[in-house]
Copies of this chain bind each other. A is one copy, B any other.
Amino acid sequence: MPRLPRKNDAESIRARQETLGLDGAVVEHDLTPYARAAESVTGVAVIPVSVAQLRIELGDYELGENGEVVERGRGVDDVTVPLAHTEGGLTASMQRGSRAAGTFRAYVLHDRITRASCFICKDADQALQLARWIEDNLGSMREFLQAADLPELSSRARLRETKTHVVGPMCHVLWAWTTGDAVGPNMMTRNSYALNMGFVMEQAPVKPERAMLEANMGGDKKPSYEFFQSGHGKTVIAEATLTDQNVRRVLRTAVDDLLELAWAGTHGAVASGMQSVAFTPASAVAAIFAATGQDLGMVGTSSMAHGTARRADGGLNVSIRLPGLEVGTVGGGTTLPHARRWLELLGCAGSGKVYRFAQIVAAAALALEISASAAMATAGSENFFRAHHERGGLR
């Protein structure tokens, strides 16, 4: 096969389309807005977007001076959540969970994103010396980043902490950043690279043999326990109280059924070595990500979840903890027309909106979780069967 042209000018695009024999819907679309989004853009994918309505008590959060997430107030809001997917039943199920929950409550706990670099030294002795020096020089590194007048550096990505982990001659380093309303992988990557090459390799009293920008301690796009425990992106909790009545009337099951399912499902997760305990958070996360221009490669990590259910006065307390929701409301795919419009529907387009957005994603995931759990629990299974049969028209 001939080598296709790679550029995104109109001629190159057309040449690719013709060589590949593409016509119809996939190419009948103005590609201009996408010319800078990727190389070799040739057409489009279109995914239908459905909507679910949620009522959420949202926290009003800001990033504090030291990188802590500070709550300024709380308020209830009605939100319409856009869901880009083709899974029959999903949207209706989330809507049912929303109805059962009444009002969700959402909280942001933490905000950090890490780049996991690694320095290979001569031996463990030198790696330990390097680690101590790095831990001791956090202040100098911040100054270095501010002083360095490099156009590549991002001033939005602010270095907050550093964590070293020495194994043999390797000194792994987690550079922990906040990145404002962007997810920030690129800005923190550039800054981490600058730290590695411009600060550590230049100034460290022990010269490492090698510097590697990323060596997997951080779990970038790959689920890990480090990620599950310490978080990556926004750490968020959503919870709700299901009244006995709603469990019975809306979910058509019983609190005991849901508790038994939660019990068996948690032990099933343990038995299978799952690093999450939940039923189907990825379906909700993926659908919102696809609608709002988030990085779909982060669906797996952003869907790591720890769900709980516990009997409460008059019903059931249910919650989900998403330790590493990698979301942004500026930059990347969020700038593209469709994504921007769906973010606007959520009241989440642009600066100052990322904590609101993170909370909505968590609440939506919990809404789906509630309904899917009801469908899996004993009394509900029959309904689940019927629902899938009736709705799953595409399958």
How often does this chain occur in the complex, in copies? Answer: 4
User: Contact at A44–B41, with CB atoms within 8 Å?
Assistant: no
Question: Which residues A22-50 have CB closer than 8 A to chain B?
Answer: 22, 24-26, 29, 31, 34, 36-50
Chain A count of residues within 8 A CB distance of the other chain: 170
Q: Which residues of B contact A218 (CB under 8 A)?
A: 272
User: Contact at A282–B169, with CB atoms within 8 Å?
Assistant: no
Residue of B nearest to A276 (CB): B222
Q: Which residues of B contact A226 (CB under 8 A)?
A: 225, 229, 271-274
User: Contact at A51–B216, with CB atoms within 8 Å?
Assistant: no
> Which of A138-146, A242-250, A339-347 interfaces with chain B?
A339-347
Contacts A29-B46, A212-B264 hold; do A165 and B34 have CB atoms under 8 A apart? no
**Among B31, B190, B276, contact of A389 (Cβ-Cβ < 8 Å):** B190
A321 to B317, CA, bound (A): 29
Contacts A44-B49, A107-B125, A308-B169 hold; do A273 and B270 have CB atoms under 8 A apart? no
Q: Which residues of B contact A237 (CB under 8 A)?
A: 124, 128, 166-168
Query: C-beta contact mask, A99-128 vs B, less than 8 Å → 1, else 0?
Result: 000000101010000001010101111001
Question: Which residues A283-332 have CB closer than 8 A to chain B?
Answer: 283, 285-287, 289-291, 293, 295-301, 303, 306-310, 312, 317-319, 321, 331-332
Contacts A226-B229, A277-B270 hold; do A392 and B118 have CB atoms under 8 A apart? no
A298 to B281, CA, bound (A): 11
User: Contact at A381–B197, with CB atoms within 8 Å?
Assistant: yes
A221 to B304, CA, bound (A): 10
User: Contact at A186–B395, with CB atoms within 8 Å?
Assistant: yes
Query: C-beta contact mask, A149-180 vs B, less than 8 Å → 1, else 0?
Result: 00010000000000001111110100000000
**Among B16, B38, B269, B300, contact of A301 (Cβ-Cβ < 8 Å):** B300
Q: From residue A5, how far is it (CB to closest CB) to chain B in Å?
A: 11
Q: From residue A354, how far is it (CB to closest CB) to chain B in Å?
A: 15
Q: Which residues of B contact A42 (CB under 8 A)?
A: 49-51, 82
A29 to B29, CA, bound (A): 11
11 contacts between A and B (CB under 8 A): A37-B393, A38-B50, A45-B47, A87-B297, A167-B306, A170-B267, A212-B264, A212-B377, A214-B279, A215-B261, A216-B274
A174 to B190, CA, bound (A): 35
6 tightest A-B contacts by CB?
A300-B300, A225-B273, A168-B308, A34-B48, A216-B268, A86-B333
Contacts A118-B268, A290-B45, A297-B283 hold; do A276 and B223 have CB atoms under 8 A apart? yes
User: Contact at B274–A51, with CB atoms within 8 Å?
Assistant: no
Q: Which residues of B contact A91 (CB under 8 A)?
A: 38-40
Question: Which residues A351-395 have CB closer than 8 A to chain B?
Answer: 375-378, 381-382, 384-385, 388-389, 391-395
User: Contact at B50–A47, with CB atoms within 8 Å?
Assistant: no
User: Contact at A388–B45, with CB atoms within 8 Å?
Assistant: no
Q: Which residues of B contact A45 (CB under 8 A)?
A: 46-49, 82, 84, 290-291, 338-339, 342
A222 to B223, CA, bound (A): 10
User: Contact at B46–A223, with CB atoms within 8 Å?
Assistant: no
User: Contact at B52–A48, with CB atoms within 8 Å?
Assistant: no
